[in-house]
Structure 1
Amino acid sequence: MLTIHDMSVGYGEDRTVLRDVSVTVRPGRILALTGSSGAGKSTLLNAMAGLLRPRDGVVRVDGQPLRDRDHAVEHRIVLVPQDNGLAPILTAAENLQVALVADGVTPPEARRQTTAMLDLLGLAGQADQLVEELSGGQQQRTAVARGLALRGGVLLADEVTSELDAGNRQRVLDLLHDEARRGAAVVFATHDPEVAAACEAELHLVEGRAEVLRD
């Protein structure tokens, strides 16, 4: 379980982006993280992922204060960033295989899981294409495929449906719900009110402060 208590996060000495945020990310549920551009959604996800250290307050994972990104990885916190985080000079399949092997999966099993996951995301035909050759939507789906393949206990997804058509948006949302049913805690930052409404809970950010709309 991931919990945040009275957390404030900023950049530099003066710029505070989030103030006094408290939230519990529960296993088996999807928390929609909403708010206008610049409200702090990505900042909150980065703090949950151990990439940003809070100025005040604490992020806890399984009861322990989250130290850094390595600690987050140890506790199976997977981040699918808004910029997708893929290696552009590798193929879609290679991006998944490298991540899986680094996570301890054998190469043959990594290849099998990669094929299955890309097929789930409708990317079987793009497996051997370089990421830099893929469309924006295909890159987003590849990043989601990699995040899902890692089978984290916490999955943080940052605007991963922004470039998708309605069919692929629903496909990704269904797969995130499957992750929650598996027992993962899912946090999904989105601008899409229909996508947010399909999640079990919603945390709305306004000018750096959080308001629980549904819990």
Structure 2
Amino acid sequence: MELKSVDLGYASGEPVLRGVTVTARPGEVLAVTGTSGAGKTTLLNAMAGLLPPRSGTVTVDGSPLGGRDAAVGRGVVLIPQENGLAAILTAAENVSVAVIATGGSPADARRRTADALAAVGLAGQANQLIEELSGGQQQRAAIARGLALQGVVVLADEVTSELDAANRQKVLELLRAEADRGATVVLATHDPEAAASCDRELHLADGVAGWARP
């Protein structure tokens, strides 16, 4: 995935980010860092097809990304900061519905759901409603959903913010495994240790993006 000279903003206000140029490569984990309000979520939303750039281009394999539906069809998975789970569904149902919606068969959805929930330590909570889970468990359920989709690009927005040290480490290992299978992984984080585990680090400050570790 490549962004070239991208300006990003909402409505008619000032741009949140200006002139962002970055290539996120298959097989690597790219950290996006910065203080709260620096634009990390804005950047990931643009990479997910949720926020069209005001100027510049966002491409995947050399072709324009398009909107969110097009991005989903091209295998761009977003694990949002607010989890985006349906409270009235169980953890397993949240994962399975997403797999089926992106073309998986019911049998495939069952298998991938079980594997993903087990990977994040939620096998025992598979049949619990999301609203019955703790904040950290909900975050892990959202991560499981993202993993089950087996994306070409995996965008993870502050996915370790509510996790204890052991679960944070496990999630970082799972994101690394996604990169090892060939996915492009982008992790937005304010956690220096999480950022340090990534291959490169793009830092956002004062509306611009610069390399902390190229």
- Which TM-score band (shorter chain)? over 0.9
- The answer for the alignment partner of 1:7 in structure 2 is 6
CA positional deviation for 1:26? 0.2
Alignment-derived partner of residue 168 in structure 2? 169
Contact 2:73 2:102 (8 Å CA) reproduced: no
What letter is aligned with 1:93? A
AA of the residue aligned to 1:173: L
CA distance in 1, matches of 2:102, 2:54: 31
The equivalent of 1:139 in structure 2 is 138
Greater CA deviation, 129-138 or 65-74? 65-74
Q: Deviations over 1:17-61 (max 9, x none)?
A: 010000000000000000000000000000000000111111011
Aligned partner of residue 9 in structure 2, secondary structure: strand
Asked if structure 1 preserves the Cα contact closer than 8 Å seen for 2:48 and 2:71, the reply is: yes
Q: Give identity over the alignment, percent.
A: 64
What is the alpha-carbon root mean square deviation over aligned residues? Answer: 0.8
Work out the CA distance in 2 between the residues paired with 1:89 and 1:32: 33
Query: 1:213 Cα shift?
Result: 1.5
Q: Does 1:40 align with 2:39?
A: yes
For 1:155 and 1:29, the matched residues in 2 are separated by 11
2:28/2:179 contact within 8 Å kept: yes
What is the CA distance between 1:15 and its match in structure 2?
Answer: 2.5
Alpha-carbon offset, residue 108 of structure 1? 2.0
Q: Secondary structure at the match of 1:5?
A: strand
In 2, Cα distance between equivalents of 1:186 and 1:55? 24
What is the deviation of 1:12? 1.5
**Which amino acid counterpart does residue 126 of structure 1 have in structure 2?**
Q
SS at match of 2:86: coil
User: How many pairs were matched up?
Assistant: 214
Find out whether 1:182 has 2:181 as its counterpart: yes
- Deviating beyond 3 angstroms after TM superposition, the runs of 4 or more aligned structure 1 residues are none
For 2:168 and 2:13, the matched residues in 1 are separated by: 38
Structure 1: state its 5+ residue gaps: none
Q: Flag structure 2 segments of 5+ consecutive residues without an equivalent.
A: none
- Asked if 1:76 corresponds to 2:75, the answer is yes
Taking structure 2 as the reference length, the TM-score comes to: 0.98
Q: Residue 158 of structure 1 corresponds to which residue in structure 2?
A: 157
Distance 1:109 1:150 in 2: 11
Q: Distance in 2 between matches of 1:38 and 1:163?
A: 18
Question: For the residues of structure 2 that align with 1:207 and 1:130, how far apart are their CA atoms?
Answer: 41
Alignment of 1:65-214 (within 5 A): 65-214=64-213
1:133 corresponds to which letter in structure 2? E
Matched residue type, 2:48: A
SS in 1 for 2:104: coil
For 2:169 and 2:159, the matched residues in 1 are separated by 12
CA distance in 1 between partners of 2:178 and 2:66 (Å)? 25
Alignment of 1:58-69 (within 5 A): 58-69=57-68
Secondary structure of the corresponding residue to residue 11 of structure 1: coil
